[in-house]
Structure 1
Amino acid sequence: MGVRQGALEGMVTMAGYWAGRSVFITGHTGFKGSWLSLWLNKVGAKVHGYALDPNTDPSLFRIAQVGSSLASDTRADLADFERLALSIARAQPEVIFHLAAQPLVRESYRNPLETFATNIMGTANLLEASRGVESIRAIVVVTTDKVYGNDKSENPHREGDALGGRDPYSASKAAAELVVSSYRASFFATHNSPRIATARAGNVIGGGDWAVDRLVPDCLRAFAERKPVRLRYPTAIRPWQHVLEPLSGYMCLAEHLANSEGSRYADAWNFGPDLVDDASVGDVAQAMADMWGMNASVELCSSEVNPHETATLSLDSSRAQKLLGWRPRWPLTRALKETVAWQRHWIEGNDMRSISESQIESYLTGQPDE
């Protein structure tokens, strides 16, 4: 299965726009942030990072040598407002991508106060630190598909649906959306102000994710150790997508925000897979086991003792497809294949910077499956 028909139509010319531009990324040492840093460097941007040290060992940031190509690399907490403001002022970015967060549902149950502090006040600090920095044209704040209230209808969520969040992680991200909306109306409403938008993506997968309590990393760890992967919610349905899909959406959105009519795009946007690629946890795990081979197996375990998680999440990304010209390129099968291939390259001791960049190139050029 290759690239979808028409998937390359209407996409922005990323290399032409980003070459030589200063970009500030919070959370650049994380999974998404590392991939975004590699991509922006590849298209010629000057990337400035602000984050804590990688929170997993191994980490994509270290393995792919992301730090070697950064214009600056600041290790600090979002709570350190003075350091954050100084870093932004020194970088003089045209675009800011705010990815730094506590990103895990189960961790939010263990540490709710840290989750609220990071995801809500961290966002407020970032926006406050950006006020008065004249170089900034666009700010993309990354939230999640879990910001939506669960109306139990199982219909794909659209950007205008009510916000909610039963678990601390989801609630903190929904609150971050309100923080952005407030700052946009209160402080960034003039013609010369930076344009701010939020991006809500699905469940991202890809090489280099070693987080705990995420399905794909849990599967890959178990398969490598020749152990069965145990599933908490095998029937839960999620909008799975390769990490490069939402990143392309964030970059596309930033370009639109920064243009002369950018105020039209200062809003919330969904970046999810085509609805045919929504799949259950059990189906994804079994597909990965089949791709991995070598007796990889899947086991079910009772969900009665596990914290609450929404049974079905689905995103309607038609607005981004229509107004931004964005659309997903890789179907789920391709996303899983690239993820498994990346992991095998790492186990074999290959150059993971080169492997990661080659996957970005394959995504950009529409290289089909072999």
Structure 2
Amino acid sequence: MKKAYSFLLVLIISQFVGCIDPLDLKTGKGTESLVVDGLITNEPGPYTVKLSLSEPYTAYAGNASSFVRRATVIISDDKGNSETLTEIKPGTYTTSGNNLQGQIGNTYTLTVKTREGQEYTSAPELLAPVPDITNLYPEVQEQKILNASGNEVSVYNVAVYVDTPDPAEQKNYYLWQWEGVHRVNTQPWNYCEKVRGKCIPMPKDCCETCWLTVFTNSINVKDDRLINGRQLKKHLVTQIPVTPRTFESKYYLEVKQLSVSETAYDYWSMLKTQLSSVGNVQDPPPAAIAGNMRNVNNPEDKPYGYFGASAVVKKVIFIRREELGINPGELIFPDDCRVLMNSTTEKPAFW
């Protein structure tokens, strides 16, 4: 039987606070390894680096021992600038936000010194420029599926695409991240709880209206090998399901387009392939994917994860319910809207 290990491995975009989705990989190793997750961009900080340890599959997923605490974490560039990050919670380290800022053309390195005396460093990462997003646009798409009764029904998604000009004078590698926000209206006054098979009314005083945030949930990368110097057209960024919950009124979507190095592109591409493959018991165990970190004194100790440097451009659109051409229906949810994931009653400034 394959021995599995799980670790948190996600690219943090500096402005996407909390945009974390756990990605489970089988590492095939019998010892704990350092897991690094960090990014510096040309946007204002703070920048975040997360440190943890890969865990055996028998470990409790929330085990606090998986966090690497009290490490010395330093981001430095090739111009002699550096900053030591502060641990703001177990395993999470950030810059001050008003000291070091990524600059296009500079090269950045991450150094980690653990309290056990191990020292790790990343390969230098060039912060390369990224072209603007020229167009960001939605397209409603219909899909036929079979429902629980075996009847064919239509479901709808909003596919969101980007167009961008690809510079001809260099190799370009792209990564996309996004953040969506939508409003919901629920019915807390209709809340009830089942008691001996009966739903006993227990109305709640709050809350009816919330805004929900949805974050990037997949790896989306592309190179310019086939389109070098031409327009990158109609690249799919995400698909938003058309449901009563997502389109109560309108959907706010912010898309970020990042430049990444060739090494980072290869890393994320391999990780995407491994995560998207559908395996069975006859498949060979997935191989561990090496990142760009190394142990200075022990080449056999190979950390997981990646420290990257990227330029960022972003574009925002609102997708309105009345523009869909279909009726998503009304949301029936007899409970406090705050029980929904990533919800808040505070109206966003952009709404």
Same fold (TM over 0.5): no
TM-score by length of 1: 0.28
TM-score by length of 2: 0.29
The structure carrying a bigger helix percent of its residues is 1
Tell me which structure has the larger Cα radius of gyration: 2
The structure carrying a bigger strand percent of its residues is 2
